[in-house]
């Protein structure tokens, strides 16, 4: 899709550069060595201390130059000059009498002004007594609650990544400033022992009804990894090899849902330790590894060293109620967070500009390692259809940033850098390098990197040096003279975008001409980036889709390759999509590939390459490189296709295409075409779950039926509606893999009572991923009164829509385009209420703008935005940028309408003519009798 017009892109880039303010950085000469942090929480005490906490922090540090001022991070913490003490040995350091303490709320700093200088090289101790709120926004030190036997239970949890430690204790809150942390937690005596990064060292009962727990010092680590939990949670805990503690903690009523996490979690930490050559527990004897399922958690999960936190739906799994997706998702995210114990915790990016050093490896190993120890959940394929496809989508825009992004300073910019480029694109580049240098060199290089940089902040150059050691040890680049690991990998890390490889085959002379250029979804864009591309290919002469070792490196704009070819030999590049590049062929080569796909040897072409062909064809359609007729021909083989990844590529492409034509008369033809394609898949898969179905079959049926029912496929609707009715009237549970489509169909065909039925089911279920499944589809209802209530359902007392799911109602309702006008009407009518629900209005307005498709909708919302004084200038600006992108989508659809109509109507005439001939033959035969 065309996402940005040139002028808007330039403006947004200029705006991004202009707002990148380096004053958010500490730029301090102070180097902390240790923290002691004492926390005393007060929950529902019924007095003015309720939901606040007292804290004391003691920081030991040196300064590398003489300074008159200590600059430290602090947000919403209360202290004054009398609460501060500074000393060096027995010598006290006095504060400046006239101006001892200043707070800069814009930059999150407290300035402690001194009467005399701190001297470079001396160790100092800074202590601050303070208090603060136990927050409600799931940031810093925040409150949670749940019900147990009808009784409300409170807990206190933390989420410090990336800039929220400063909301729980004054600190030097940057990842490069590592230190050792000792935590002291006073908890109510009725609570279970608190949890932090390390084991409990000692326990002391206090006279005030609290228990003080002192924890062992942590390894040297960053502030964002400090964590604690004060609760009544229970656990399944195992102790291996004497002192190696592993546990999964949750609210007591969900403790029976932890079996899968306990089993997989222990397997993955052992497997990763073996792969990286550093046993997790060997880092520090007082480290343990606890995984905690929280009722309400802002991130999907967080890799705090020794105390990993998750949303319940991403750690707890119940086979009877959880869809197959969640079995994969739990394994994937546990693997992701456990990988961080090495990449992120043991070795940490020096600054958030290189977040990929943490997240790129976690993204890669979440699926790579899961595929090795839990192969039944399809993680190996997700490396492509999950990460690579997502990377393409984010990286094809003209405003895409490099993986290493130096324009990252403010908390907002830091948060924004935790996205697809940092996770999926970086993970895909790491996967490409793995295939490039081979497994032996890769493993050795990672071990070298981790071992050399453990407990230190790191830079990309440190990683390259480690991998170069692996390459040298195994001589793994001997086939590529003149190339080194650093130059190849850095060409992908330091510049934005990815290439498309144009392939032109001269069969007569057995010559293949290659040309690379950066791929943009907007065809008006161009630039001169060149990438060092590891090239893989195979031909129909001797098809080999298992060899993913690159044949050569292409670093120039063009390359000529001699290959033994005949006139009917196909050639396919990027084997198993191990490289991060799209591939476009000349027309004759496309025709040869299409012929092979429709032939009896279709499966000689690896299913990931069959999927790639589809995914690339859709991309080339959206960028205008091919006509719809070519895509149409390229998809014909789907009538015989059974592979889940191949259908995944097709379904996502068809959904994107139909989204572009919402509000247009062409949509009905696209839907009819899509139904024709998927009908054979429905016949092959059926509507019922078979006990012998594997993971791919279950997920394939899920995605096919989801699209089929959206397109009003009668068999799908009848079957899904029957299942829903049987559940509602007879209590017969629906197979987890079919619940989403059945629930949505029941809502579409039903009324307000059906909404109430599923709302009640969501509110009463004890299984978090079942609750999330229902929340995601409640917007399917056609009852306008229920839609209005759902949009503000977080305001319902004890609402099952939690803070972590704040945007779920809006997204669910906007998923149906017919609800757009109702959303805008409710926004206008209840603006004050909506602003009280959403802490930031940016995403709300942009989500609505993105859902619009007609000129009338554009004009109405544009006018509303211009008149909304309460919305805020930045939110309106972002929404208008999203509105322009939505208009560009509609413009693309208008420009390509005739092309698509010509193909689809031509196809309809062919089908009609063929059917007429068949019927004529039947009638002639009958008459002849």
- Two tokens at 476? 């793994």
Residue 133's region, left for phi above 0, alpha for psi from -120 to 50, else beta, is beta
- Give the C-alpha separation, 161 to 173, whole Å: 10
Determine the longest span between alpha carbons in the chain, in angstroms. Answer: 116
Tell whether 606 is in a known binding site.
no
- Give the C-alpha separation, 579 to 552, whole Å: 12
> Catalytic site residue 337?
yes
> What are the φ and ψ backbone dihedral angles of 817, each rounded to 5 degrees?
-60, -30
> What are the φ and ψ backbone dihedral angles of 918, each rounded to 5 degrees?
-65, -45
Residue 640's region, left for phi above 0, alpha for psi from -120 to 50, else beta, is alpha
CB 273 within 8 A of CB 279: yes
**CA 161 from chain center: how many Å?**
15
- Two tokens at 856? 């009338």
Tell whether 359 is in a known binding site.
yes
Query: Is residue 450 within a helix (H) or strand (E), and if so which, with residue range?
Result: helix 439-453
CB 21 within 8 A of CB 13: no
- Two tokens at 444? 């050795």
Q: How far is CA 679 from CA 676, 711, 742, 806, 904, in A?
A: 5, 11, 18, 37, 17
**CA 727 from chain center: how many Å?**
33
- Two tokens at 651? 């379904």
Calculate ∠ Cα 833-311-169, nearest 5°. 80
Query: Is residue 768 within a helix (H) or strand (E), and if so which, with residue range?
Result: helix 768-777
Of 161, 337, 633, 857, the catalytic one is 337
Cis? peptide before 302, omega within 30° of 0: no
- Give the C-alpha separation, 165 to 159, whole Å: 8
> What are the φ and ψ backbone dihedral angles of 294, each rounded to 5 degrees?
-100, 145
Please report the DSSP string for 689-711 in residue order. --TT--HHHHHHHHHHHHHHHHT
Strands (E) located in 726-871: none
Residues whose CB is less than 8 angstroms from the CB of residue 889 and which lie 6 or more positions away in sequence, other chains included? 1, 2, 659, 660, 853
Residues placed in the known binding site: 336, 340, 359
Residues placed in the known binding site for Zn(2+): 336, 340, 359
What amino acid positions are annotated as catalytic residues? 337
């Amino acid at each position: 899709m065309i996402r940005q017009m040139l002028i808007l892109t330039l403006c947004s880039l200029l705006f991004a550069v202009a707002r990148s303010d380096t004053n958010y950085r500490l730029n301090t000469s102070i180097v902390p060595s240790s923290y002691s942090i004492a926390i005393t929480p007060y929950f529902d005490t019924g007095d003015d201390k309720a939901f606040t906490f007292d804290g004391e922090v003691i920081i030991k540090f040196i300064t590398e130059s003489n300074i008159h001022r200590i600059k430290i991070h602090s947000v919403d913490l209360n202290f004054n000059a009398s609460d501060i003490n500074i000393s060096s040995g027995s010598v006290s350091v006095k504060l400046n009498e006239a101006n001892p303490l200043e707070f800069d709320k814009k930059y999150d700093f407290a300035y402690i002004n001194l009467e005399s200088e701190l001297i470079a090289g001396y160790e100092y101790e800074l202590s601050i007594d303070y208090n603060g709120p136990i927050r409600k926004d799931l940031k810093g030190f925040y409150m949670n609650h749940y019900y147990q036997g009808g009784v409300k239970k409170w807990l206190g949890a933390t989420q410090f990544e990336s800039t929220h430690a400063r909301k729980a204790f004054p600190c030097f809150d940057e990842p490069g400033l590592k230190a050792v942390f000792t935590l002291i937690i006073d908890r109510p005596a009725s609570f279970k022992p608190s949890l932090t990064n390390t084991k409990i060292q000692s326990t002391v009962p206090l006279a005030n009804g609290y228990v003080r727990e002192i924890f062992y010092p942590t390894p040297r680590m960053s502030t964002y990894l400090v964590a604690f939990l004060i609760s009544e949670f229970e656990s399944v805990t195992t102790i291996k090899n004497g002192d190696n503690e592993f546990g999964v903690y949750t609210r007591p009523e969900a403790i029976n849902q932890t079996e899968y996490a306990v089993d997989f979690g222990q397997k993955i930490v052992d497997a990763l330790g073996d792969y990286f050559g550093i046993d997790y527990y060997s880092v520090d004897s007082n480290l343990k590894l606890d995984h905690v399922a929280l009722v309400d958690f802002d991130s999907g999960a967080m890799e705090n060293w020794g105390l990993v936190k998750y949303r319940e739906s991403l750690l707890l799994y119940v086979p009877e109620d959880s869809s197959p997706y969640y079995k994969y998702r739990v394994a994937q995210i546990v693997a992701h967070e456990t990988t961080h114990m090495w990449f992120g915790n043991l070795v940490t990016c020096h600054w958030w500009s290189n977040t990929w050093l943490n997240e790129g490896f976690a993204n890669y190993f979440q699926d790579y390692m899961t595929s090795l120890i839990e192969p039944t959940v399809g993680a190996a394929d997700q490396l492509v259809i999950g990460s690579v496809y997502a990377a393409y989508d984010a990286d094809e825009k003209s405003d895409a940033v490099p993986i290493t992004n130096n324009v990252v300073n403010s908390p907002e910019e830091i948060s924004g850098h935790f996205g697809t480029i940092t996770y999926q694109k970086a993970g895909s580049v790491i996967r490409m390098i793995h295939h490039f240098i081979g497994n032996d060199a890769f493993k050795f290089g990672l071990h070298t990197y981790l071992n050399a940089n453990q407990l230190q902040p790191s830079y990309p150059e440190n990683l390259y040096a480690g991998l170069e050691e692996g390459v040298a040890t195994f001589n793994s680049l001997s086939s590529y003279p003149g190339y080194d690991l650093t130059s190849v990998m850095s060409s992908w890390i330091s510049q934005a975008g990815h290439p498309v490889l144009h392939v032109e085959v001269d069969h007569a002379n057995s010559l293949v001409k290659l040309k690379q250029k950066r791929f943009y979804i907007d065809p008006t864009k161009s630039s001169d980036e060149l990438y060092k591309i590891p090239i893989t290919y195979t031909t129909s002469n001797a098809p080999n889709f298992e060899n993913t070792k690159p044949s050569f490196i292409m670093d120039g704009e063009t390359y000529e390759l001699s290959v033994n070819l005949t006139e009917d030999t196909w050639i396919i590049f990027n084997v198993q999509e191990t490289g991060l590049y799209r591939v476009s062929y000349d027309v004759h080569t496309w025709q040869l590939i299409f012929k092979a796909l429709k032939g009896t040897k279709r499966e000689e072409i690896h299913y990931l390459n069959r999927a790639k062909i589809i995914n690339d064809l859709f991309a080339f359609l959206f960028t205008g490189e091919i006509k719809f007729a070519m895509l149409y021909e390229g998809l014909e083989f789907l009538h015989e296709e059974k592979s889940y990844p191949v259908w995944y590529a097709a379904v996502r492409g068809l959904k994107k295409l139909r989204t572009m034509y919402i509000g247009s008369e062409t949509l009905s033809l696209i839907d009819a075409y899509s139904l024709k394609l998927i009908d054979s898949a429905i016949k092959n898969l059926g509507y019922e779950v078979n006990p012998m179905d594997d993971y791919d079959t279950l997920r394939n049926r899920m995605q096919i039926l989801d699209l089929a029912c959206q397109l009003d496929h009668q068999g799908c609707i009848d079957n899904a509606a029957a299942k829903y009715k049987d559940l509602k009237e007879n209590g017969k549970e629906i197979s987890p893999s079919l619940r989403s489509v059945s629930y949505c169909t029941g809502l579409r065909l039903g009324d307000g009572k059906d909404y109430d039925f599923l709302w009640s089911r969501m509110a009463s279920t004890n299984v978090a991923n079942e609750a999330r499944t229902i929340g995601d589809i409640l917007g399917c209802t056609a009852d306008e009164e229920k839609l209005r209530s759902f949009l503000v359902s977080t305001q319902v007392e004890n609402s099952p829509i939690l803070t972590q799911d704040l945007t779920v109602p809006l997204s669910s309702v906007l998923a149906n385009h017919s609800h757009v006008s109702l959303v805008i009407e409710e926004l206008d009518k209840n603006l004050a209420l909506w602003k009280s629900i959403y802490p930031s209005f940016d995403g709300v307005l942009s989500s609505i703008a993105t859902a619009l498709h007609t000129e009338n909708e554009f004009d109405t919302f544009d006018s509303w935005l211009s008149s909304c004084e309460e919305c805020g200038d930045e939110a309106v600006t972002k929404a208008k940028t999203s509105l322009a992108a939505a208009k560009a989508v509609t413009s693309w659809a208008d420009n390509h309408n005739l092309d698509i109509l010509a193909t689809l109507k031509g196809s309809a005439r062919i089908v009609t003519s063929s059917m007429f001939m068949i019927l004529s033959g039947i009638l002639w035969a009958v008459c002849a009798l």
